[in-house]
Amino acid sequence: MSDIQTWTLVFIVITFGIYITIAWRSRVKETAGFYVAGQGIPTVANGAAVAADWMSAASFISMAGLIAFLGSDGSIYLMGWTGGYVLLALLLAPYLRKWGKFTVPEFVGDRYSEAVRIIAALAAIIVSFTYVVGQMNGGGIVFSRFLGLDITGGVIVAAIIIFAYAVLGGMKGITWTQVAQYTVLIIAYLIPAVAVAQQMTGIPIPQVSFGQILGELDALSQQFGLDAFTDPFSARPQIDVFLVTMSLMVGTAGLPHVIIRFYTTKSVRGARWSAFWALFFISLLYTTAPAVGAFTKLNLLQGVQGVSADELPSWVVNWQQTGLVSVAEGASTIETVSNDATSGADLIVNNDILVLASPEIAGLPAPIIGLVAAGGMAAALSTAAGLLLVISSSFSHDLFFRVVKRKTTDAQQLLAGRVAMGLAVLIAIYFGINPPAFVAQVVAFAFGLAASTFFPILLLGIFWKRANGIGAVCGMVAGLIFTASYMIYTLEVFGTSANDHVLGISPEGIGAIGAVVNLVITVVVSLATRPPSEHVQEMVEEIRYPAARVTSGER
């Protein structure tokens, strides 16, 4: 076993031991603890848990890699995800916490109708499944490289660990585990970033120093047949940059597994402060990601420029074994580099390996490489656990025990939730092994689906008393069908062939238009049909005022 594998194993065993111990000590026996942690999580801890839940494998593993190859167009992920979090914190989270329910489908069921609740539960399952695929695939990438497993084995191991601590502790265990996972992932992200910044520029502040290398990076990128790193709209059309950013923003604000985090606080005020702390914790990674992308790309290109295909750097050889880095057949020297297997470049590098490979590319010591691997696993596991809980609660709490079997005990609900989580893991394993795209792209699809289903009806449900159940049903179904159909049309999924993008709009960006479709149809149908009852309109009025207290809300 190499030094890198040894250190990776050490860090993963230590961190996983911490996660399982926390889950065991936090195990629950009642539904309130399983679904919303008994609504007793302190503000700062909840902020760290929100950050870990939200900063998934896409943020840790894939985002800097996409920025490296997309250049300035990669800012869509930074602007979209961060801006969306601000929307969530200001427009939705405090009001939903004040309503005081366990899940997003439960809120829309109370606000609109049981039909909307069922559709919302099904949509939550679809969105969460799409999202969890990226996390499972991210976990497989880490294990495949650093523990000598193939992608299939890596995904299975990651799934077993996620299932173990999510089932044991529910939301309570997941929350405290995510606090530990945030600590691991942010340390693992910042230490190599600082080390590489110091190595390349002499200034150990990545956010400041990476600007010094942009001119050299632009020139070197063009030598390799790539677009200049700083050129705007070179990788995507301007309309798509705008739409993807918007889709990620409104999708973030509509993600059930993030929204449910604000139900775990002790009060509405706690929900607001959790949002503040989460944004602070998130910013530590998000302001560092562009620097990581730029440094890694420059190191990569400098390390392979003109190198013989028979004398490749050790990191290329190591990652070739995973199938995520490949050298074109017949290439004698490396003259062109790409992240697209169809480009004909001499060296093909998968976006998703750049952050994990960055310490190796920069020649950093084995312990740092092992720490980064543990951080990548922390990011994938933290979000996957929250997603599995949404799938579990949507199936058991919002569907089975509301539609099929209404009279149940807490023990029966917990058992059903855990069984649903187990089934979700099995399905997620398959799609984690066979993902339709890069980790961050898969996650972007989930955000698009959330944008086209949840955000419009949540926004209207809080701020427009006239929105009714019939309108919400029509809007959600239309938005979901429109967005999912376009994604299937433009991707090779479910046996379909990929088609050209319409008007340059990518499947990651279609969610923004799907949200408009949902919003317009909900408004039009609501105005054409009977308004909600006076009781519902009064409840909507009450939750918009922080000082007011409602029976089912603040405590």
Residue 169 is part of a domain; what is its CATH number? Answer: 1.20.1730.10
**Residue 284 confidence (pLDDT) above 50:** yes
Q: Please name the residue ranges forming H helices in 362-435.
A: 366-395, 410-433
197 within a domain of the structure (yes/no):
yes
336 within a domain of the structure (yes/no):
no
> Which of the pair, 428 or 219, is modelled with greater confidence?
219
552 within a domain of the structure (yes/no):
no
Percent of the chain, pLDDT > 70? 85
> Mapping DSSP to helix (H, G, I), strand (E, B) and coil, where does residue 343 land?
coil
> Which of the pair, 238 or 422, is modelled with greater confidence?
238
Residue 309 CA to residue 399 CA, distance in Å, equals 56
180 within a domain of the structure (yes/no):
yes
> Which of the pair, 329 or 385, is modelled with greater confidence?
329
> Which of the pair, 349 or 176, is modelled with greater confidence?
349
310 within a domain of the structure (yes/no):
no
From residue 315, give the alpha-carbon distance in Å to each of 50, 220, 262: 34, 20, 42
319 within a domain of the structure (yes/no):
no
536 within a domain of the structure (yes/no):
yes
Q: Are 250 and 451 in contact (CB under 8 A)?
A: yes
From residue 20, give the alpha-carbon distance in Å to each of 23, 60, 329: 5, 22, 45
User: What is the span of the domain harbouring residue 139?
Assistant: 3-296+364-403+412-543
Region 461-477: mean pLDDT is 93
Q: Please name the residue ranges forming H helices in 26-150.
A: 31-36, 43-54, 57, 63-70, 75-87, 93-99, 104-111, 114-146
Q: Report DSSP letters for 348-383, one per residue.
A: EE-GGGHHHHHHHHTT--HHHHHHHHHHHHHHHHHH
From residue 153, give the alpha-carbon distance in Å to each of 13, 60, 159, 314: 17, 21, 10, 24
pLDDT at residue 517 in the model: 97
**Residue 541 confidence (pLDDT) above 60:** yes
Q: Which amino acid is at 284?
A: L
Name the band, by pLDDT with cuts 50, 70 and 90, for residue 439: low
Residue 376 CA to residue 60 CA, distance in Å, equals 6
Region 279-285: mean pLDDT is 89
Name the band, by pLDDT with cuts 50, 70 and 90, for residue 406: low
pLDDT at residue 26 in the model: 66
Q: What is the DSSP letter of 500?
A: P
Q: What is the DSSP letter of 533?
A: P
Q: Are 446 and 416 in contact (CB under 8 A)?
A: no
Number of domains in the chain: 1
Residue 552 CA to residue 80 CA, distance in Å, equals 33
pLDDT at residue 554 in the model: 40
318 within a domain of the structure (yes/no):
no
* pLDDT tens column, 293-342: 899 989 888 888 888 878 888 888 888 877 788 888 878 888 888 887 77
**Residue 38 confidence (pLDDT) above 60:** no
pLDDT at residue 100 in the model: 65
What is the largest distance, in Å, between two alpha-carbon atoms of the chain? 76
Phi, psi of 129 (to 5 degrees): -60, -45
**Which tokens belong to 73?**
């167009």
Q: What is the DSSP letter of 265?
A: B
Name the band, by pLDDT with cuts 50, 70 and 90, for residue 264: low
pLDDT at residue 190 in the model: 93
Region 189-214: mean pLDDT is 91
Q: What is the mean pLDDT of the chain?
A: 80
